Amino acid sequence: MAGSGVFEGIKEGEVFKYYTDGEWKNSTSGKSVAIINPTTRTTQYKVQACTQEEVNKVIESSKIAQKQWAKTPLWKRAELLHKAAAILKEHKAPIAECLVKEIAKPAKDSVTEVVRSGDLISYCAEEGVRILGEGKFLVSDSFPGNERTKYCLTSKIPLGVVLAIPPFNYPVNLAVSKIGPALIAGNSLVLKPPTQGAVACLHMVHCFHLAGFPKGLISCVTGKGSEIGDFLTMHPGVNCISFTGGDTGIAISKKAGMVPLQMELGGKDACIVLEDADLDLAAANIIKGGFSYSGQRCTAVKVVLVMESVADTLVEKVNAKLAKLKVGPPEEDCDITPVVSESSANFIEGLAKDAKTKGATFCQEYKREGNLIWPVLLDHVRPDMRIAWEEPFGPIIPVIRINSVEEGIHHCNASNFGLQGCVFTKDINKAILISDAMETGTVQINSAPARGPDHFPFQGLKDSGIGSQGITNSINMMTKVKSTVINLPTPSYTMG
Ligand code: NAP
């Protein structure tokens, strides 16, 4: 039960508290934000609506805690992270329950998200010890005109206060993908969780509390992004922003000050299927890649570009698999569960209606009950339909039939997004040439797009993001290089 047992202190009455200075507190606003269960469409939880004054205090104590933390030996930081990871995994069940209730994630996937997050934190600790434990040593006489009179020592130092804003679809995993690298690198961290997913995040933060991290080092402020988001992202006390979400990220990058930004934004991941592809493999990956968590993944397959000559066979195979997907509540571990909100369901429905009006072939009848949308494959989609370009973030996949590889690549590259893409072919040389031609951060050959494993570099081009993530890249991004130069007297050639 969320908020019970070891998590007792994080809630008072009906409302979950926010976390600052090592304590769980109620906001002075006296206001709360409701979290709507996507399945029942009733209020499931409530969190504090933090005020700007509270944000100021959180950032102030975060700043103070960071100074001390930066001096804490790396191995000690790693030790605490390992401890938090173990506590998180130990409490996977109540945290997963929050994910089921808040974001309608299927029960098993919810547990997987928490366990994966624990593994991510531990990997950050190990990787951080390795990459932050070494620096560079340079000598001056390798640059023209210089004698060997300067020795330069470089090391990586923390940035200060890192602001982490994850999205609803992987609230725990995408929060720790920021928290782990920030903390091991000697930063403090302020988390603004997504409203849907906030209670799972508060439970996760409590695991860091139980691990014994110093007061103020990690904080969690709750409230609607539309209300406290700008105040947080434009706050002069924030030294780095790591954001994952949709177009909001583009707006933040225009408003934020001169601080390093890590932006993981939307995608329209294309799946190109060639004539020589293993069509069973492609169909299985379109189902897994397109419909896992009801398509609410940045790396979901969001458009299939298939060669006309094999399109009928592929569509038939995908439809056969699609018919086996179980549709229903997340508690029953169904494959397709209600999408996160009514407005999200309405948006998906709008894309479906637009495609219908413009003549797309619905391979299944469109069906919706509340936020639950039955999975649907749309064949014969054309570029004049919105679904050809927009990210539905739901269980609906458009199929565009192409007559050449170039046509597929052209469609992929004409998108504003450039997150991932995938290609199915048995010809590895062709696959590599297509990968080179696709303007996306990653191309998967013979598998669906995917973020993990979490230590792989992960990045989007164009409107899909700024910077590169993955554990090693995130640790590096959350540090700055510091040089110390030792100046020696002019060498005496008579010496030695
Ligand atoms: P979203 O609406 O952009 O929200 C993301 C986060 O931003 C939430 O925590 C939200 O808080 C907060 N927020 C809202 N307004 C804000 C503001 N003015 N300033 C600061 N923060 C603000 O995205 P979403 O619907 O949660 O997630 C879906 C999107 O995320 C999709 O586009 C998906 O592709 C993308 N995504 C990308 C990746 C990737 O790695 N590239 C991974 C996962 C998801 P509230 O919830 O309180 O509004």
Mutate to test the pocket of ligand 1, among 18, 46, 117, 169 (most ligand atoms within 8 A of CB): 169
pTM recorded for the entire structure: 0.97
Q: In the structure, what pLDDT confidence band is assigned to residue 121 with cuts at 50, 70 and 90?
A: very high
CATH architecture of structural domain 5-265:
3-Layer(aba) Sandwich (3.40)
Rounded to whole angstroms, the Cα distance separating 254 from 466 reads 12
Residue 494 pLDDT greater than 60, yes or no = no
State residue 455's pLDDT score: 96
The answer to whether residues 66 and 58 touch, using CB atoms and an 8 Å cutoff, is no
In the predicted structure, residue 398 carries a pLDDT above the cut 90: yes
Predicted confidence (pLDDT) at residue 393 exceeds the cutoff of 60: yes
Q: Is 349 in the active site?
A: no
Question: E strands along 265-347, which residues?
Answer: 270-273, 303-307
CA of 488 to the centre of ligand 1 (A): 52
Of 46, 48, 103, 168, best ligand 1 pocket probe by most atoms within 8 Å of the beta carbon: 168
Q: Whose CA is nearest to atom 15 of ligand 1?
A: 225
**Closest C-alpha to ligand 1, atom 26:** 167
More confident residue, 452 or 118: 118
The percent of the chain in helix, strand and coil, each rounded to the nearest 5, is 40, 20, 35
Q: How far away, in angstroms, is 191 Cα from ligand 1 center?
A: 13
Is the Cβ atom of 195 under 6 angstroms away from ligand 1? yes
DSSP state of 11: E
Residues spanned by CATH 3.40.309.10 within the chain?
Answer: 270-445
User: Which helix (DSSP H) or strand (DSSP E) does residue 36 occupy?
Assistant: strand 32-36
Instruction: Report the separation in Å between the CA atom of 246 and the middle of ligand 1, taken as the mean of its atom positions.
Output: 5
CATH 3.40.605.10-classified regions of the chain: 5-265
- The residue assigned the tokens 């298939």 is 306
User: Could you report how far apart the first and last alpha carbons of the chain are, in Å?
Assistant: 75
Q: List Cα–Cα distances, 377 to 219, 361, 449, in angstroms.
A: 43, 8, 18
Contact between residue 234 and residue 256 where contact means Cβ atoms under 8 Å apart:
yes
| Residue for token pair 């014969």 | 380
Distance from C-alpha of 78 to C-alpha of 90, rounded to nearest angstrom: 18
| pLDDT tens-digit series, residues 286-316 | 999 999 999 999 999 999 999 999 999 999 9
pLDDT above 70: residue 495: no
Per-residue pLDDT band at 30 (split at 50, 70, 90): very high
CA distance readout (Å), 49 to 31, 204, 207, 486: 5, 19, 22, 51
CB atoms near residue 93 (< 10 Å): 11
CATH superfamily, region 270-445: Aldehyde Dehydrogenase; Chain A, domain 2 (3.40.309.10)
Tell me what the mean pLDDT of segment 116-142 comes to.
98
Q: What is the mean pLDDT of the chain?
A: 97
CB of 248 sitting under 6 A from ligand 1: yes
8 A C-beta contact, residue 136 and residue 153:
yes
DSSP structure string for 90-142? HTHHHHHHHHHHHH---HHHHHHHHHHHHHHHHHHHHHHHHHHS--EEEEGGG
* Residue 59 CA to ligand 1 centre (angstroms): 21
pLDDT tens, residue by residue, 165-181:
999 999 999 999 999 99
Our answer on whether the CB atom of 391 is closer than 6 Å to any ligand 1 atom is yes
Test site for ligand 1: of 48, 50, 165, most ligand atoms within 8 A of the Cβ: 165
- The pLDDT of residue 496 is 54
Tell me how far the alpha carbon of residue 297 lies from the centroid of ligand 1, in angstroms: 12
Do 419 and 435 form a contact (C-beta atoms < 8 A)? no
